[in-house]
Amino acid sequence: MSKPKGGTKGGPKGWKDLPMGGMILEAGNAEKYNTGAWRSDRPIWIEENCIQCLFCWIYCPDSSVNTKDGKRAEFDYGHCKGCGVCALECPSKVKAIVMVPEADGADPGILDRAKAIANKMAAAKAAEKDKEKKDA
């Protein structure tokens, strides 16, 4: 029984036919690869909390934050890897981006849960500042 031949002859590629890992063979090729399927956390945008600073757009390493007419728009979840940089960099007093587990992302009530998380985070931050003032 003979082995199927791969690579340049049109059959399946063997490991020797694949490029070395970490190599970028053509500039701008990330757009061709949807990598969002393997994230464990998903950013949820809370539009009414957004101050339109676009820090999320600037800092996103995957260009997954879309803009329209100079304002923040929805995420490109096909490319978002769930790193959380957008949520970390959001300067709003009450966060406009909250990270939730990917498994919860399709839940119809996720926006309300994200709003509750953002409010809880803002309250905790305010309480921390109050404590610092009292201790000073």
d(CA 67, CA 73): 5
Task: State phi, psi for 75 to the nearest 5 degrees.
Answer: -75, 150
Task: State phi, psi for 98 to the nearest 5 degrees.
Answer: -125, 135
Is residue 51 pLDDT above 50, yes or no?
yes
Is residue 63 pLDDT above 70, yes or no?
yes
**Helical segments of 1-136, H only:** 55-59, 85-89, 110-135
Range in 3-7, 39-43, 66-70 the model is least confident about: 3-7
pLDDT at position 50: 96
Percent with pLDDT over 70 in the chain: 90
For tokens 């490029």, the residue is 19
pLDDT digits (tens, 9 = 90+) for 97-127: 999 999 998 888 999 999 999 999 999 999 9
pLDDT digits (tens, 9 = 90+) for 74-93: 999 999 999 999 999 999 89
Tokens read off for 41:
């956390």
pLDDT at position 133: 85
The structural domains of the chain, ordered by start, are 34-135 (3.30.70.20)
Task: State phi, psi for 131 to the nearest 5 degrees.
Answer: -65, -40
pLDDT at position 3: 52
CA separation, residue 121 to residues 25, 51, 75, 109, 124 (Å) = 43, 17, 22, 19, 5
Task: State phi, psi for 101 to the nearest 5 degrees.
Answer: -60, 140
User: What is the DSSP track for 49-66?
Assistant: G-----HHHHH-TT--EE
**What average pLDDT is seen over the chain?**
86
Range in 23-27, 54-58, 116-120 the model is least confident about: 23-27
pLDDT at position 9: 62
CB–CB of 72/52 below 8 Å?
yes
Is residue 5 pLDDT above 60, yes or no?
no
pTM: 0.73
